[in-house]
Every structure is written in C-alpha cells, then in structure tokens.
Amino acid sequence: MYVKLGNGDKTVFWEDIWIDGKTLKNRFLRIYSLESCKLITVGAKLAQPSLEYSFRRNPRGGVKQDQFNELSSLVHDISLIPMSDRWKWDLESSGDFYVASVRKIIDDKSLSDVDSKTRWIKYVSIKVNVHAWKVKTDSLSTRFNVSSRGIDIDSIMCAICDNGVETFRHMFFSCCMVRQIVRKITRWWDIPYVEVDSYEDWYNWFVNLRIPSKHKQMFEGVFYVMWWHLWSFRNKLIFDSKPPSQTLFFDDIVSMSFHWCRYRCNASFS
C-alpha cells in the first residue's frame, strides 16, 4: 500500500510512505531527530515557511546538512491538490485492493513452478479432475509412496496384478489390467492403441491424436474416469471383505463416462 497524495492532511510526513517508496524518517534519520513534531502531516509541513521551521534547531553542516539538502530537493516539486489523500494498492494498475492480487503474490513466492498448466475437463466432475491431477503429480497414497514415507506395510506390490511395485506409473499405465482396459477404450473410440509407461508418455500420445477438439476433451475425460474407477477398484480390493469383479470394469467406465458427459455438455449423442 502507498499513499496517493491529495491535500496532505491525512498523511504523516515522516512515518507514512508517500514519496519515493520509503518513509522519510528511515531515509533521513539524522534530520528526523531534529523534528519537534514527529506526527506532522504533509499538508502542515509544506505549509510552513520552511522545512526546518518545526525543527528544534537548524542543521549545522556535516551529515545532517547533507540529509537536509537531499530532503529539500526531494520535496521541492511536490504540489498538493484540493482533494483527500487516499491509499493505493501497488499490485493492481487500478490502485484498488483485491484479495486475488494478494493470493497471486503469495502463490508466486511460496508455490513451486510447474512445467505445464493443470488440465481441466468440464465433461467430468470436479472430484475426477482433482484425481487426474493427483495422478499427474504422483500425489496418491500408492503402496510405494506410503512405504517411502516410513510407514510399515505388509506389501508394496500392486494390489491388482501383484506383478510389480505399486508406483503410480505401474498402477495407472503399466499394470496388465490397465493395458487391457486401455485397449478396449481405444477400440471403442477407433483409435490406434499404443503402450505407455508414464503420464508423460500418455500425454505425448494424447496431444498428437488427430480427432475433433470436442471429442478429444471427451476422450481425455474417459481416461480420467478410468483412473478414478481404477483407484476405487484398487481400494475395494484392499479394504473390502468381498473383492470387486473385473468383468464389469470396462462397462462401468463406459456408462459412467456417458452419464457425466451427457449431463455436462450441450451436445446430443448416443
């Protein structure tokens, strides 16, 4: 925040930031010590016959004289206008305060840089989009991630296939069940199947697909649904007394994708 000077009646000459981005008392400490009226306003100070009028004594050479000369030069061209002083917000060109600008500067200073923007598919629900972001950033509590945090668990093998360590790469891209489902999805959409081993590989394959943009968003949404359903399936395998069936896994993805897309986009489709 800084002061936009008007008539100077609401701005303290020495203690407010109203000129050159600093308080004058910190910039001219020796001169400030001579001031007998520490809380004098800008309007009152500039209305005096001279800057040293309210000093206990005049500067007498040395550092004080140098600081006084610099202060005199700094305020020499200040002109007051017949309107009230007002506060301005430096982070907005309009000068108005917005919470969003505070949030932005905090985010810029505290959050790490990312290589790509967060992807958001409006055809599926918020929770599915958030889950896809967790897949991308490896933020899910896979067995490998849990174990790497020092938590003792019975096994770090994939709960679905038991043929590899349950990392996010294995679970969502390399697991034999996942690859089987992806083959069915690409056959359903009439798109060539390609095996991938990571989110980066999947993303490079996806962005190079040549299909209409609206269909492409729906297709990406299908993968988001698949990842969501896969995580739910894995959790049921681990925590439920009755293991879920794999036979309806693909059908559930189709019906869930259709249900969400149908009610979240304006197009009509079968």
Classified as helix, coil or strand, 55 is strand
β-strand partners of 19: 22
Q: How far apart are CA 206 and CA 136, in angstroms?
A: 14
CA-to-CA distance for 132 and 138, rounded, in angstroms? 10
For residue 240, give the amino acid letter.
D
Burial class (CB in 10 A: 0-12, 13-18, 19+), 94: exposed
Ranges of beta strands (E only) in 68-194 are 86-88
Higher pLDDT, 213 or 147: 147
Q: Which residues pair with 88 in a beta bridge?
A: 2
Kindly report, residue by residue over 27-60, the tens digit of the pLDDT.
999 999 999 999 999 999 999 999 999 999 999 8
Confidence of residue 4 (pLDDT cuts 50, 70, 90): confident
Chain segment 7-22, per-residue pLDDT in tens: 999 999 999 988 888 8
Q: At residue 116, does pLDDT exceed 70? A: no
Q: What is the pLDDT of residues 172-207, one digit of tens each?
A: 999 999 999 999 999 999 999 999 999 999 999 999
67-99 tens-digit pLDDT? 999 999 999 889 899 999 988 888 888 888 889
Confirm if 188 and 254 have CB atoms less than 8 A apart.
yes
Query: Which pLDDT value is given to residue 250?
Result: 95
Per residue in 148-176, pLDDT (tens digit) is: 999 999 999 999 999 999 999 999 999 99
Distance CA 56, CA 33 (A): 9
Element (H, E) at 4: strand 2-4
Question: Taking a C-beta distance cutoff of 8 angstroms, is the pair 164, 174 a contact?
Answer: yes
CA 206 to chain centre: 25
Q: What percent of the chain has pLDDT over 90?
A: 67
